[in-house]
Amino acid sequence: MKILISWTAFNNDYHSKEEVEQGAEKVNYDGPTMQFHEYFYTTGGYNKHIILSTSKNDDPRIDFMLAAIKREFSTHIVEPRYMDISDPIDITQIRPKIEKLLLEYNNDTIDIFFSPGTSIMQLAWYICHQSLGLKTRLLQTRSPRVAKSKKPELSELLIEQSSIPFTAIVREQQQSKQHSSIDYNITDSIASVYKKAVKIAQAETITCLIFGDSGTGKEHLANYIHKESARKANPFVAVNCSALNDNLLESRLFGYKKGAFTDAKEDKKGLLEETSGGTVFLDEIGDISPYMQQSLLRVLQQKEILPVGAAQPIKIDVRIVSATNKNLPQMCADGKFRWDLYYRLSVVELSLPTLQQRGEAEKKEMIDFFLKQKKQQLRKAKVLKLMPEVKQYLLTYPFPGNIRELENVIESFYVFCDDEVTLADLPTRLTQSLATDLNPFDWKRAEKDLIERALKFYQGNQAQVQRALGYGSINTLKSKMTEYELK
């Protein structure tokens, strides 16, 4: 099949309001779209012309154009496509959406009518033509007013393509943009993760799985991907899968029909339908049941949902980003998680380190950051001063709750302290083992922490923990677990 694709040219395909008031038709028959159909559509051998609009659902101007083409060229097949572009010069919105459209016709010959549209739309066509490896051509027309023949002229933009595949990433960025802001501090150890997130954001069809312990910032990273993507103008919704049972999670995600269960008094849309055009973040994805794993697999494969009590599926348009603190590959090997779902969720993977793994220098940077942030958020007159022994304790404390726990601790200081923070102001949970924790070289504390982390990572599989930690036998590991009262 041979497809023609183009944007509608709002400035040239239609007469102005003043011209219409003076008797002109709404559609300009001398505009690029009508001229293409008159002179080049039939000779080009096209099966279909897809006309793109920046609107979300419907566009009266497209309706006028379709009616004019049907009236003048009854055999020409024209299909409107609404691209939901809020900013026609935002490359991060435009490129992923036309890339997704072009990939729908990856087995067909595609001619791109390059002339209509903004300069950024034309740039997006060029990038896709160069990078996708599809059978595309870039065509442009010359108006009769400037053509030597005094008739519309058609030409192809011949661009030499490299034999080496490449991925084009274009990003509009203010030069003053920094890694840090009042809301979040992207330190050196996670800067590379966020740099990858920008590339993931612009790959519209890619799913992403984020690994990281609780409190490491997985939801913020997912939201960052959303905000850097073409979906940024649409909703971002986070769902904690571990907090809901099957029935609640299913009805929350997929919605339900009236009468589907006792309390279903009316039809209710699920989050995957309500968040159309946006991003849904599924946190703690490793905790969902086999039943929900199967249901979610269908969503990813078919791009559709079946509300509870419904007979017909509903097509959806959402991006799914998921996260877990579990070892999903090991869970798959143990038969607790579906391999096919894992592969669907993890086209690309990102990992966030714990606060302890980020090192003392970054922990100090985060303490200073939260001291300034909470001062502004809570409208305090000045930044709290931490006594040296308090700061040293915070630097040596392991913070099992990671960034979230550190943030909460600093916020509690502002609640109870006016000028400075002493050891007596530390939360009780931090001071229960104060004498031990003040020694950063305590071997037993470090060994216990290491065993706990390994047991969590390997889902309690002692044989794997023993091999990973290098103990000579499983009995050595068991004796250590008994010594440290670990289950």
CB atoms within 10 A of CB 379: 7
C-alpha 413/C-alpha 400 separation (Å) is 19
Are both 231 and 287 inside the same structural domain?
Answer: yes
> Which contacts of 293-301 are long-range, i.e. CB under 8 A and separated by 24 or more positions?
293/337, 293/338, 293/341, 294/338, 295/250, 295/254, 296/253, 296/341, 297/338, 297/340, 297/341, 297/344, 299/272, 300/207, 300/341, 300/344, 300/345, 301/344
In a domain, 181, yes or no: no
Give the per-residue pLDDT at 484: 84
Are both 469 and 343 inside the same structural domain?
Answer: no
Are both 220 and 301 inside the same structural domain?
Answer: yes
Give the per-residue pLDDT at 127: 87
In a domain, 18, yes or no: yes
| pLDDT tens by residue, 154-179 | 888 876 655 444 444 444 444 334 44
The answer to whether 228 touches 198, Cβ cutoff 8 Å, is yes
| pLDDT tens by residue, 415-442 | 999 899 998 888 887 876 554 545 556 6
Q: Which of 351, 386, 420 is the last residue of a domain?
A: 351
Are both 150 and 26 inside the same structural domain?
Answer: yes
Are both 282 and 253 inside the same structural domain?
Answer: yes
In a domain, 164, yes or no: no
In a domain, 35, yes or no: yes
Are both 135 and 256 inside the same structural domain?
Answer: no
C-alpha 68/C-alpha 72 separation (Å) is 6
> How many alpha carbons lie under 13 Å from residue 45 in its C-beta half-sphere?
5
In a domain, 270, yes or no: yes
The amino acid occupying position 294 is Q
Give me 482's structure tokens.
């008994």
Residues 6+ apart with CB under 8 A from 128: 95, 98, 99, 102, 134, 136
Domains held by the chain: number: 4
C-alpha 380/C-alpha 372 separation (Å) is 10
Are both 257 and 296 inside the same structural domain?
Answer: yes
> How many alpha carbons lie under 13 Å from residue 393 in its C-beta half-sphere?
22
CB atoms within 10 A of CB 40: 18
List the chain residues with pLDDT less than 50.
Answer: 163-180, 435, 437
C-alpha 171/C-alpha 271 separation (Å) is 29
- What is the span of the domain harbouring residue 401? 360-437
The amino acid occupying position 331 is M
Are both 337 and 428 inside the same structural domain?
Answer: no
In a domain, 371, yes or no: yes
Are both 204 and 310 inside the same structural domain?
Answer: yes
* CATH number of the structural domain spanning residue 315: 3.40.50.300
* CATH number of the structural domain spanning residue 124: 3.40.50.10770
Are both 458 and 424 inside the same structural domain?
Answer: no
Q: Which of 139, 156, 173 is the last residue of a domain?
A: 156
